[in-house]
Amino acid sequence: MAKLIGNKKNIAVFISGRGSNLKYLIINSKIKKSLFKVCLVVSNNPKAIGLKYAKKSKIKYYIVKYKNSNNLETKLLKLIKKFKIEVICLAGFMKILSKNFINNFNKPILNIHPSLLPKYKGLNTHLKVLKNKDKFSGSTVHLVTPKLDSGKIVMQKKIKVSKSDNQTSLEKKILKLEHDLYSKAINNFLSNL
C-alpha cells in the first residue's frame, strides 16, 4: 500500500520545451495514490510550450534567465525552499545544474533520459541507437549528480527497436513509455525514502 496518502511530497519540474513529461506528471499526480504533487514549474525558456500545462493546472511557474547562473541559482534555491520542494524532477531541462546548486539543494534531483543508461549519455540518443543497430532502447530515470547522466538508476524501461524504426518513430515510442515511467519511478523512489 502506498504510504503518505493525503501527505504528498512537493516536487518541482524543470523544463525547457515541449513539456509532455510535465503534462503526464501533473495528470498522474492527481491520482489519489500518487505520492507527489507538482507545486512548481521552472523553465529556462520563456517560450517553452510546456508552460501551458502549468498555467492550465494553476501551478506556479518561474522563468529563469541563465545569463548569470550563480545569481540565478541562488534565487532558484530560495524559491525552491519557499515552495517546500522535496524533489526536483528534470524533464527535458536543457541546462546543466551546477555542482554548487546540487549540493546546496541537498535533496534528491531526478532526471529522465531517453536511453538505457549507462548507454548513450548526453544528446542524440536515438541516432546512436540506430547507428549501432541496437535491438533495444528505452528510457531511464536516474538521480542527478554533477556528472552528466551518471547518477544512480531509479527505474528503467526498455522497448524493442524494429528494423523500420527511424529517429522520429523511436522518439515517439520512447516518449510514450516515459509518460508512464516517470511517475512510477518518482512514486517508487518516494516510497523507499
Pick between residue 9 and residue 113 the one whose CB is nearest to ligand GRF.
Answer: 113
The minimum distance between CB 31 and ligand GRF, in angstroms, equals 19
The minimum distance between CB 139 and ligand GRF, in angstroms, equals 6
| SS3 of the chain | CCCCCCCCEEEEEEECCCCHHHHHHHHHHCCCCCCEEEEEEEECCCCCCCHHHHHHCCCEEEECCCCCHHHHHHHHHHHHHHCCCCEEEECCCCCCCCHHHHHHHCCCEEEEECCCCCCCCCCCHHHHHHHCCCCEEEEEEEECCCCCCCCCEEEEEEEECCCCCCHHHHHHHHHHHHHHHHHHHHHHHHHCC
**Sites of contact with ligand GRF (CB under 6 A):** 15, 17-21, 50, 91-92, 112-114, 139, 175, 178
Pick between residue 76 and residue 181 the one whose CB is nearest to ligand GRF.
Answer: 181
The minimum distance between CB 78 and ligand GRF, in angstroms, equals 26
158: β partners: 138
Instruction: Point out the residue whose Cβ comes nearest to ligand GRF.
Output: 92
The minimum distance between CB 17 and ligand GRF, in angstroms, equals 5
Pick between residue 13 and residue 35 the one whose CB is nearest to ligand GRF.
Answer: 13
Pick between residue 2 and residue 63 the one whose CB is nearest to ligand GRF.
Answer: 63
113 catalytic per annotation:
yes
- Catalytically active residues are 113
